[in-house]
Chain A
Amino acid sequence: MTNDISQGLSCPLPIDNYATVVLAHGGGGKLTHQLIEQVFKKHFSNPDLDLMHDGAMVEVNKGRIAISTDSYVVSPISFPGGNIGELAVNGTVNDIAMCGAQPKYLTASFILEEGLRIDELEIIVESMANAAKKAGVLIVTGDTKVVPRGKADKIFITTSGVGMIPEGRNIHPSKINAGDKIIISGTIGDHGMAVMSVREGLEFESEIRSDTCALNGLVEAMYHASSNINFLRDPTRGGVASTMNEIASSSNKGIRLFEQAIPVNGNVRSACEILGFDPLYVANEGKLIAIVSSVDAEKILAVMKQHPFGKDSSIIGEVTNEHPSVVVLQTVIGGERVVDMMSGEQLPRIC
């Protein structure tokens, strides 16, 4: 419904076809409904969402479920290889998949800054819908709030997700054993450096693109090959180094990494050298680390390499009973060093 105020009405009706988000879009009234209809429902539509109830009522199978939630505040909101919307869907899908679960449903909550262009919002919402479709999940409920200009930065998104854990899958640090192999599903540091190179205006021969993607398909392929998957994590903020430290400390096992085996794209390495970052600490949004029993490591690696999101997979290390809770890196040059948890904030607002 649009009112054309140019047609000589003596009493001007309130404008309701704004090109930008205004505070009333979050007020719960007409404009909120219009925004939901014209932007969110238009792209996310499915029977559970379309009911427009206070919450979604969905079917689940018997057994265990995995639940996760994450907020996204990346700046800039679009970057080579993706935008905040795709990130918000893929990030939560991946967190669910790292529980060994099959992600089913997402919720999406938006905090919009007054003045955000509606067409910019629609691009983000549309890419969320595409990402959800690719990942095979439904966005079943959501929320929108608008805050005055300057109180947020364009758009913040929170997504929560639910997934089903098939029988026989058990991801737990206590399952990690000495001798297990550590596999990464591809090159590291792509997302962090893609965002950073936009912020710093760095240009390379070919663009650094974010690796954002949903990893649930890859996880299913891996489980199809073997159930000897003891642990899964996606190394997002803090990068591989921080994730490996968390794993070492929660399992009380030592971790040995081989620098030579860790895949890094040439441009990412260059950008890291220029800006003084260590790729081990740079965020990924489409990579997983799997800790698997050594007997099936090669089999799982082979399957991962066949998958479009795992073609650069590599065994990058192993679990040991030596130096419990500590991550040690064998350097390219043949030396050794401890890889510590990241201290402070390397790249603020990366996801």
Chain B
Amino acid sequence: MKYLDEFRDPAFAKTLSEKIHTVMTKPWTIMEVCGGQTHSIVKSGLEKLVPSTLSIVHGPGCPVCVTPLDIIEKAVLIASKPNVIFTSFGDMLRVPGNSTDLLHVKAAGGDVRIVYSPLDAVTIAQKNPDKEVVFFAVGFETTAPANAMAVWQAHRNNLKNFSILCSHVLVPPAMEALLSSAQNRVQGFLAAGHVCTVMGYEEYIPLAKKYKVPMVVTGFEPIDILHGTLMLITQLEEGRYEVENQYARMVKREGNVSAQEMIFKVFEITHRKWRGIGEIPQSGYRLKEEFSRYDAENKFDLGLIDVQESPLCIAGEILRGMKKPFECSAFGKECSPEHPLGAPMVSSEGACAAYYNYKRQEVSTI
């Protein structure tokens, strides 16, 4: 398949792998920020191709994993209401809230539908004027333009029965939260290619300077990740801490300006709670005042939500790159993709699920 096979070429991968081995003279710890990269690394078995002294830790870039429990619980409550069609990306359906998950709400008779685009949810709202249609708007800067567009279209068509349950989060504040933590051990970042496709990478430059940490904006195919890793290791070995762009076929320095305009037409920056990490200032989007009638949290009276995380789950430490999934005592025992205790075991982009699905054999021999 064109534009994909080139980036999965075994001969090229071998060359890059050899170069990484040559360039690297001491152990380094790097983090890939995005869950899509985690998935790709584990799915293609890339860790076999890099030196064993390179520690790749998985970052907080899986939207399913960082969506806080109280928002999941709100989704469950809204989806259980009789006159509601609740729409969501498929991954969110299996995330356990406090009481249950959206799949069980569906089984109990709730109208929960998987959509591939928030605009599909707008269409559903147009076709079902007697129902309240809610879209579960989670994700990073990547999904924000389409979600903003959905609200914008609902607004233009004066749709009164459409709203979003919004839990948008932003990457740079999360990276800063990691870097400023006393326990941080990450020495370099593979920055998230899709987020930068939308937002560009200018906002990462002051971060790299302030914390003296190199960053390489990296794509998602195996060759992209190996190439990004080589660029990052080269910077580390040379003592540089710049922001470089490996994913230049998609990412421009200034990003996608019209997508950004759409985002800021509809959203404004706010504090956000991250599951497993806690509240990070200025780390998310919420709907602007003039669009508040599209905010499901305003539309539905949900009362006070009191939620408790499983005491066994160490999702927070995993999302901050402090521990690997198999260092969790519940991994593969009390917690599995069929019975997840925490969100990283649910999404295919979650570090725990990726380890469970693709690396269990290694884990069992450790």
Contacts and interface: CB of A to CB of B under 8 A. Distances in A.
A337 B8 contact: no
A335 B47 contact: yes
Interface stretch (B55-63, B317-325, B355-363): B355-363
Interface in A326-345: 326, 328, 331-340, 343-344
Contacts of B362: 338
A38 interface: no
Contacts of A336: 45, 48
Given A333-B45, A335-B47, A340 B116 contact: no
A332 B1 contact: no
B146 interface: no
A273 interface: yes
Contacts, number: 72
A338 B363 CA distance: 11
B286 interface: no
A331 B1 contact: no
Contacts of B222: 331, 333, 335
A335 B1 contact: no
A321 to B, nearest CB: 14
A264 B189 CA distance: 34
A291 B67 CA distance: 45
B337 A331 contact: no
A323 interface: yes
A275 interface: yes
A121 B14 CA distance: 56
Interface in B214-260: 222-223
Contacts of A323: 361
A190 to B, nearest CB: 16
Interface in B334-360: 336-338, 348, 356-360
Nearest to B40: A333
B118 to A, nearest CB: 15
Nearest to B356: A340
Contacts of B48: 334-336
Contacts of A276: 348
Nearest to A330: B45
A332 B359 contact: no
Contacts of B357: 338, 340, 343
A148 interface: no
A331 B360 CA distance: 16
Contact of A328 (B9, B13, B337, B361): B361
Interface on chain B toward A: helix, strand, loop, or mixed SS?
helix
B298 interface: no
- Chain A contact residues (Cβ within 8 angstroms of B): what range? 20 to 34
B43 interface: yes
A278 B1 CA distance: 15
Most buried by A among B14, B43, B47: B43
A331 B359 CA distance: 13
Nearest to B340: A343
A328 B17 CA distance: 21
A338 B360 contact: yes
Contact of A338 (B8, B46, B47, B358): B358
Nearest to B355: A338
Contacts of B4: 269, 273
B358 A332 contact: no
B302 interface: no
A200 interface: yes
B13 A344 contact: no
Contact of A334 (B49, B116, B338, B358): B49
- Chain B contact residues (Cβ within 8 angstroms of A): what range? 20 to 34
A337 B10 contact: no
Interface string B1-43: 1001000111001100100000000000000000000000011
A334 B10 contact: yes
Contacts of B49: 333-335
B258 to A, nearest CB: 23
Contact of A337 (B94, B116, B359): B359
A266 interface: yes
B44 interface: yes
A273 B222 CA distance: 14
Interface string B188-228: 00000000000000000000000000000000001100000
B116 A275 contact: yes
Nearest to A272: B1
A200 B94 contact: no
B158 to A, nearest CB: 26
Contact of B46 (A200, A326, A333): A333
B329 to A, nearest CB: 21
A278 B45 CA distance: 15
A270 interface: yes
Nearest to A346: B90
Given A323-B361, A338-B358, A340-B358, A331 B94 contact: no
A337 B1 contact: no
B12 to A, nearest CB: 9
Contacts of A273: 1, 4
Given A275-B116, A333-B45, A335-B44, A340 B360 contact: yes
A331 B44 contact: yes
Contacts of B337: 343-344
Nearest to A336: B45
Most buried by B among A266, A335, A336: A335
A332 B361 contact: no
B311 to A, nearest CB: 24
A333 B116 contact: no
Given A323-B361, A340-B356, A344-B337, A334 B13 contact: yes
Given A326-B361, A334-B48, 12 more contacts: A331-B45, A333-B13, A334-B14, A334-B17, A334-B49, A335-B47, A337-B44, A343-B336, A343-B338, A343-B357, A344-B337, A344-B338
Interface of B: 1, 4, 8-10, 13-14, 17, 42-49, 94, 116, 222-223, 336-338, 348, 356-362
6 contacts: A269-B1, A273-B4, A333-B223, A337-B43, A340-B357, A343-B336
Interface of A: 200, 260, 266, 269-270, 273, 275-276, 278, 323, 326, 328, 331-340, 343-344
